[in-house]
A = this chain, B = another copy of it.
Amino acid sequence: MKGDHERMRGSESLITVACIQFEPRVGRKEENVAESVRLLHLAADRGARLCVMPELCNSGYLFNTRAEAFALSEEVPQGSTTQAWIEVARTRGLFIAAGIAERAGGRLYNSAVLVGPDGYVGTYRKMHLWYEEKLFFEPGDLGFPVFALPLGRVGMAICYDVWFPETMRLMAVQGADVICVPTNWVPMPAQPPDERPMAVYLCMAAAHSNAVYVAAADRVGTERGQLFLGRSVVVSPAGWPLAGPASADEPETIYADCNLAESRRMKTLNELNSIMQDRRTDFYDRTLGSRIVP
């Protein structure tokens, strides 16, 4: 017969994580934020505690000019978007990680903001900029922060960041239990039609290698000729999808019950292996970043 403690396992840090996949419209910020707030309330009705929304979900993604990107950006946390999300978080007891066009003086960042019932928590600024993002945004300058929340430790990464295994590794090394990924996945060359997007496999591999939850919220739709892939997914620390991949072309919110304590238990694989302690930092430090292939 199992003891109380044994029976409680699996609910130690149990929360419902929601990835809210929708279709922001470029330039229509008020409408996008209103839609995000409506969807956050629906997720709260379904019991979500941590909600993830797509990259640049207040502004849209494909800017034609720097002036357009600048006009759609706002300061964090003072701007109206962050304030609207804080209000939902406060009234519904949510934590929210969502993509936002951030302005700081004359600089623009492709950022993710984290807010909760007590207000603003922190910001992640995309470290690896994809393609024409480089024309308007500055590369992130805040590193890879991990935020300690009442529900567990939360990191954020945005889209192309996940192509760099360093991103999630550095958050896991700092103790992240769940990594929220606001994203705008686009088609990659050589993607076989019968496979999940490569991005989903990158999330699965990163979740498994680091024993962390990964919650990726993608957008859908076509914006100024650019197709986005949908297929939002919540991955367990074992690396397998718990919810999703969602639809490729329809708005959809996916839900997964996650015991964030599992990301800590699962770091230990057996009495001889612990994935963080097995890292060969004695050799990594000598080599990593030391040579770049042209």
Given A165-B165, A292-B277, do A284 and B170 touch, yes or no (CB 8 Å)?
yes
How many residues of chain A are within 8 Å of chain B by beta carbon?
Answer: 63
- B280 and A293 contacting across the interface, CB-CB below 8 Å: no
Give, as a whole number of angstroms, the nearest-CB distance from A63 to chain B: 14
4 further contact pairs, Cβ within 8 A, besides A127-B280, A144-B287, A198-B240: A127-B283, A192-B240, A277-B292, A284-B288
Q: Which B residues touch A192, using CB under 8 A?
A: 240
Contacts of A144 in B (CB 8 A): 283, 287
8 tightest CB-CB pairs across the interface, nearest first?
A165-B165, A205-B205, A281-B289, A190-B238, A175-B293, A170-B287, A143-B283, A127-B280
Q: Spell out A's residues near B (CB within 8 Å).
A: 127-132, 134, 139-140, 143-144, 160, 163-166, 169-170, 172-175, 188-190, 192, 195, 198, 201-202, 204-206, 208-209, 236, 238-240, 264, 267, 269-270, 272-273, 275-281, 283-293
Q: Kindly provide the distance from the CB of A255 to the nearest chain B CB, expressed in whole angstroms.
A: 19
| Option from B139, B267, B285 in Cβ contact (under 8 Å) with A293 | B267
- Would A279 and B284 count as touching, CB distance under 8 A? no
> How far is the CB of A195 from the nearest CB of chain B, in Å?
7
Supposing A205-B206, A240-B190 touch, asked if A166 and B267 sit within 8 A by C-beta, the answer is: no
Chain B, residue nearest A270 (CB): B131
How far does the alpha carbon of A237 sit from the alpha carbon of B112 in the complex, in Å? Answer: 30
A279 touches B189 (CB 8 A): no
| CA gap between A230 and B135 in the complex, in Å | 47
Name the prevailing secondary structure of the A interface residues: loop
- Least CB distance, A194 to chain B, in whole angstroms: 11
Residues of B close to A276: CB separation below 8 A: 292-293
Given A128-B278, A288-B288, is A209 in contact with B164 using a C-beta cutoff of 8 Å?
yes
Which residues of the partner chain B approach A132 to less than 8 Å between Cβ atoms?
272
A226 to chain B, nearest CB (A): 13
Complex Cα–Cα for A170 and B289 (A): 8
Roughly how many angstroms separate A229 CA and B23 CA in the complex, as a whole number? 42
Flag if B236 contacts A190 (CB, 8 Å). yes
Q: Once the chains bind, are A287 and B174 in contact (CB under 8 Å)? A: yes
23 examples of A-B residue contacts, CB within 8 angstroms? A127-B283, A128-B278, A129-B278, A134-B272, A160-B278, A164-B279, A165-B169, A166-B280, A166-B288, A170-B283, A170-B287, A170-B288, A173-B288, A174-B293, A175-B291, A175-B293, A201-B205, A202-B208, A202-B209, A205-B206, A276-B292, A276-B293, A285-B288
Whose C-beta in chain B lies nearest to the C-beta of A285? B289
Instruction: Please state if A278 and B164 are interface contacts (CB–CB under 8 Å).
Output: yes
Chain B residues whose CB sits within 8 angstroms of the CB of A195 once the complex forms: 240
Could you tell me the distance in whole angstroms from the C-beta of A106 to the nearest C-beta in chain B? 21
**Which residue of B169, B236, B239, B264 contacts A166 across the interface (Cβ within 8 Å)?**
B169
